[in-house]
Chain A
Amino acid sequence: MNLFNSILTSIVIVVIFWACAFFQTSIAHAIQHKEVGASLELSKKANAEKVKVHKTALDNAELVNESITKIINFSGIKQRIYLEDTPQLWQRFNSDTKIHKLLKQQPKQIFVTYSALSKDFKQADVAIGYNVIELSKFDSHHTIEMHRLKRLLAKGKYSDSALTDAWKSIDYNKAIDYVLEVHDLSNGTDIESTQLFVAYK
């Protein structure tokens, strides 16, 4: 092969293995869910429900801190995952000694954002972290602009399924920037109450 063709071939190889890495979870999940054709029906139903719910959600949603621009930066871990793998990421976060060593004090809140949601709402970049003012040092961080948030759930104690259900009140006709969970902590570890927000683009 001459040099030009060799380079061209190399580029093709890069694309192939990049695609393998990029679509790995889709491939794995496609194999896993193959037999569950019914799940598709279910998600269709859920979508229809979402559309129904969003109208009422719009009425209920309140604009948070409309007048004040407040910015919160948080830092921790971030990973592109299937939403159903979120517990795994939490486990990672809880066992991440590096970030916990950087805490200056008992943390008051944990922030979780779900951004860059895939079209089927199954995948997202999920970030979990602490407010940077509670950390002695941090590398990268994520910014939350409070004035852009619409509240989906008021402060309270919610089960996992209640939190998931609240996603139904998101207006899926709008482009979602991210969904935010704010967990208030007691003793620095136990989740006392949670709030849920959404930011549209």
Chain B
Amino acid sequence: MEFLSQILTPDDVWGLEAWIDDWFFVIAIALFLIECVRYVIKKKFTKDFFGDSVANFVTLGLFILIVATVGATYAGVFIFTYEQFSLVQLPINGWTILCCIILADLAYYWEHRFLHMNGFGWATHTVHHSSPHFNISVAYRHGPMDWFFPLFFHLPLALIGFHPFVIFLAEIVVQVFQTLLHTETVKKLPRPIEAIFNTPSHHRVHHATNKQYLDKNYAGIFIIWDKMFGTFAEEKEPVNYGIYPKLNSVNPIKVFFSGYVKLCQRLWNAPSWGYRWNLLVKSPTWAWQQENK
């Protein structure tokens, strides 16, 4: 346990984060190729699957372009907040990183739930959900503003004294864990793991359009949050992936901006200002229900 108390420099933490970021992508690609082989064997490697996967990586490319332009500002906001307003400055070591990962995971839960609960957040997060498939490449399917909302949910961690680099590392760890869940290859894991951690099974439920699965399992690493806060559903009947209404496109540009196009269309065609307001603050399920009355 001694190594957890070892004091680290911010540079060490930054290095570790960059290392995970780079190498994990390589691992993810390898896992995706294994999934592809599995689909080929099962004769499920369709044209649509291929097109969808290509679209996923193109949205990732677009997302990386956006992050490259705003990344420094994003980091700057954290560093400024930490240096000017932080309550304390917590020592940088393994224990602090562990605490930060748990809290970043809780922040992730709330951010994720927020994205599902209003039209504004959904416009960007819908991109991730709009694939009718479920594999590692879907984990990399990002919307244009996916970098924006985490800012507000993780900034409080800087205020209470976690070094920005520690926060970024924790965000990456949650992200990496989440990415691994996007697979149909793993059915169910041993019960204790399913009880505590988010698993592929739990996350399939999150991507479902089945009624009993809607707006469930927002967790990052720990499914405990969902169980505590009453947003948990167990995977029982087979999952249909996607969103309401269906996107039916593998055109990357269409996929990437689909959320905002849909939101603008809805706002344009809205019968009243009250309805427009509701489109922004109410859940996308509400909008879907209004349109299908």
Interface residues of B in 91-108 (CB under 8 A from A): 91-93, 95-96, 99-100, 102-103, 106
Interface residues of A in 65-81 (CB under 8 A from B): 77-81
Interface string of A26-45 (1 = CB under 8 A from B): 00100000000000000000
Q: Which of B3-11, B130-138, B256-264 participates in binding chain A?
A: B3-11
Which residues in B have their C-beta under 8 angstroms from that of A98?
A: 11
Q: Is B268 in the interface zone, CB < 8 Å from A?
A: no
Contact A1 B99 (CB under 8 A): no
Q: Which of A11-19, A152-160, A175-183, A185-193 participates in binding chain B?
A: A11-19
Within the complex, what minimum Cβ distance (angstroms) separates B164 from chain A? Answer: 12
Interface string of B218-230 (1 = CB under 8 A from A): 0000000000111
Docked complex Cα distance between A6 and B117 (Å): 15
Q: Which of A88-96, A104-112, A130-138, A164-172 participates in binding chain B?
A: A88-96
Among A9, A10, A17, A140, point to the contact of B99 (Cβ < 8 A): A17
Among A1, A10, A80, point to the contact of B110 (Cβ < 8 A): A10
- A6-B229, A125-B89 are known contacts. Are A21 and B96 too (CB-CB below 8 A)? yes
Contact A18 B110 (CB under 8 A): no
- B-side interface size class: 20 to 34
Among B5, B6, B11, B103, point to the contact of A96 (Cβ < 8 A): B11
Docked complex Cα distance between A18 and B91 (Å): 12
Contact A9 B229 (CB under 8 A): yes
Please count how many residues in chain A sit with their CB below 8 Å of the partner chain's CB atoms: 29
Considering the complex, give the chain A residue whose CB is closest to the CB of B89: A80
Q: Is B161 in the interface zone, CB < 8 Å from A?
A: yes
Among A14, A79, A96, point to the contact of B160 (Cβ < 8 A): A14
Which residues in B have their C-beta under 8 angstroms from that of A17?
A: 99, 102-103
Considering the complex, give the chain B residue whose CB is closest to the CB of A15: B160
Q: Is B88 in the interface zone, CB < 8 Å from A?
A: yes
Q: Is B16 in the interface zone, CB < 8 Å from A?
A: no
Q: Is A20 in the interface zone, CB < 8 Å from B?
A: yes
Contact A80 B228 (CB under 8 A): no
Within the complex, what minimum Cβ distance (angstroms) separates B233 from chain A? Answer: 15
Q: Is A49 in the interface zone, CB < 8 Å from B?
A: no
Contact B228 A21 (CB under 8 A): no
Q: Is B168 in the interface zone, CB < 8 Å from A?
A: no
Contact B91 A25 (CB under 8 A): yes
Considering the complex, give the chain A residue whose CB is closest to the CB of B8: A92
Contact A6 B100 (CB under 8 A): no
Among B6, B83, B106, point to the contact of A14 (Cβ < 8 A): B106
Within the complex, what minimum Cβ distance (angstroms) separates B166 from chain A? Answer: 9
> What are 29 A-B contacts with C-beta separation under 8 Å?
A1-B228, A1-B230, A2-B230, A6-B228, A6-B230, A9-B228, A10-B106, A10-B110, A14-B103, A17-B99, A17-B102, A18-B99, A18-B103, A24-B91, A24-B93, A24-B96, A25-B5, A25-B91, A79-B7, A79-B92, A80-B88, A80-B90, A81-B7, A81-B91, A85-B7, A88-B7, A89-B7, A92-B7, A96-B11
- CB-CB nearest 10 A-B residue pairs: A21-B99, A6-B229, A17-B99, A24-B95, A21-B96, A21-B90, A1-B230, A1-B229, A80-B91, A20-B99
A→B interface (CB under 8 Å): 1-2, 6, 9-10, 13-14, 17-18, 20-22, 24-25, 28, 77-81, 85, 88-89, 92, 96, 98, 125, 139-140
